[in-house]
Amino acid sequence: TCDQTCGPPACECRPGFVRTAGTCVRPETCPEALSTSIDRPCAAVFCAGGQCVEYDNTFGCFDTACGPHEEFKICATCEKTCGPVMKKCDEKCHPPTCQCVEGYVRHNGRCVKSEKCDSSEHAERPKRYFQRL
């Protein structure tokens, strides 16, 4: 069976103990063979609200309902925005979230068509104006 549950913080067994039938016991007294993995997908994994998503080798509850012109991304990236400069951003996966779909940028919390930004404020990656000699 699978008892992995996403939800509010809960009690965990101290290091050196395992949980069986809701009680923490030493592994050598566990009446069943120890499980080292959880079958995925597991129907018993659930959230009180949102959806249970595996991220960064753990489970978490995330609201996957997105607004207009947004999509839920498990591996979120840096979004373009209407603004004077592009924020510094690393190229790693960020926590799951809703992001603007292609052709849209974030402006005041909403996704708007990129051409709706004043061209002087549209943040994009800097262009290179150098030529190799």
* Percent composition of the chain: helix, strand, coil (DSSP 3-state, to 5): 5, 30, 70
pLDDT at 66: 93
Residue 103 near residue 113 (C-beta atoms within 8 A): yes
Angle CA(46)–CA(38)–CA(15) in degrees, nearest 5?
95
Domains defined for the chain, CATH in brackets: 1-63 (no CATH), 66-125 (2.10.25.10)
Rounded average pLDDT over 79-88: 75
Report d(CA 9, CA 127) in Å as an integer.
Answer: 46
Read off the pLDDT of residues 91-128 as tens digits, 9 standing for 90 and up.
Answer: 788 889 999 999 999 998 999 998 888 654 444 444 44
Read off the pLDDT of residues 19-68 as tens digits, 9 standing for 90 and up.
Answer: 777 777 787 887 666 555 444 444 445 566 677 777 777 777 788 889 99
Q: Which of 16-20, 52-56, 76-80, 85-89 has the lowest mean pLDDT?
A: 85-89
Threshold 0.75, pTM exceeds: no
Paired residues of 32 in beta bridges: none
pLDDT at 39: 45
Q: How far is CA 94 from CA 12, 63, 70, 123, in A?
A: 26, 15, 16, 20
pLDDT at 58: 72
Which string of b and e fits 50-74 if b means at least 16 CB within 10 Å? ebbbbeeeebebbebebeebbebbe
